Amino acid sequence: MKTKMKYKRILLKVSGEALMGEKDYGIDSKVLSRYAEEIGELQSAGVEIGIVIGGGNIYRGVVNSSDGVEKVTGDQMGMLATIINGLALQSALEHRGIFTRLLSPLKLEEIAEPFILRRAIRHLEKGRVVIFGAGTGNPYFTTDTAAALRAVEIKADVIIKGTRVNGVYDSDPEKNPKAFRFQEISYKDVLEKDLKVMDLTAITLCKENKMPIIVFNMNVKGNLKRLVQGENVGTIVSATLNMNMRK
């Protein structure tokens, strides 16, 4: 009997840096295997899963050309880095017998399917884990924005953003041990307080489409499943005006 889940279709956003584990760069196979295991548990429970992965463990788009790489070129390099991460996660999932599809808005037919919305939704309906690579396919847009866009397009119930902290705080909890963690917070307050949950474009897109975001610590084993089951894990960002709740 499948465990009852609160969310039927999710968009999981994972940073490229999360894949590094204890390494300085690249992909930690142990982290990759654990992520694949937890994603597989959700898939087995009937959850439809879309995933957007960053590329910061391989290459970060440069802010300017001070290192000799022009901004657009740097962003294109970052998009290709997300394809590398997508291929790694796809391999880890398929080693567990989980059917997947890697989709790309860039033309990379030899290694990824072209992103076509109706096809992506059909893959989800068939129980395949869909990995959205290469961001939006355009420079100047982050993978946070790609996650927001894909979530809205596939009509996900929620964006789940995996980080290395337990939610959204009023200051950096890794630097301030007294940082206040919000249990719920509105899009408006995230923007006004500049809390860096996601970039401005991504938050605005979620706000306009009423797409809730849950920020949680993906490094705690079991957190992802508990969250999708509806347990109080992380911080919910939505249209709520209640800012006085914390765990």
pLDDT tens, position by position, 131-169: 999 999 999 999 999 999 999 999 999 999 998 889 999
What are the pLDDT digits (tens) for 160-169? 999 888 999 9
Q: Quick check: 161 and 206 in contact, CB under 8 A?
A: no
Residue 244 inside a domain? The answer is no
The answer to whether residue 2 is domain-embedded is no
What's 165's domain CATH number? 3.40.1160.10
Average pLDDT value over all residues in the chain: 90
- Does 113 fall in a domain? yes
**Domain presence at residue 165:** yes
| Cβ atoms within 10 Å of 67's Cβ, excluding its own | 8
The average pLDDT across 168-186 equals 90
Least confident of 11-15, 27-31, 60-64: 60-64
Q: Which residues contact 162 (CB under 8 A, 6 or more apart)?
A: 12, 13, 14, 15, 18, 216, 217, 218, 224
Quote the percentage of the chain above a pLDDT of 90. Answer: 72
Answer whether residue 184 is part of any domain.
yes
Per-residue pLDDT tens for 58-80?
Answer: 886 555 445 678 889 989 999 99
Per-residue confidence (pLDDT) for residue 244, from 0 to 100:
45
Asked, for residue 1, whether it belongs to a domain, the answer is no
CA distance 29 to 32: 5
DSSP codes, 226-243: HHHHT---SEEEES----
In a domain, 243, yes or no: no
CA distances from 113 to 80, 116, 119, 206 (A): 14, 9, 10, 26
Domain membership flag for residue 4: no
pLDDT category of residue 55 using cuts at 50, 70 and 90: very high
Q: Closest by alpha carbon to 133, among 117, 151, 118, 146?
A: 146
The count of domains in the chain is 1
The range of the structural domain enclosing residue 178 comes to 9-238
Predicted pLDDT at 226 = 94
pLDDT of residue 70: 87
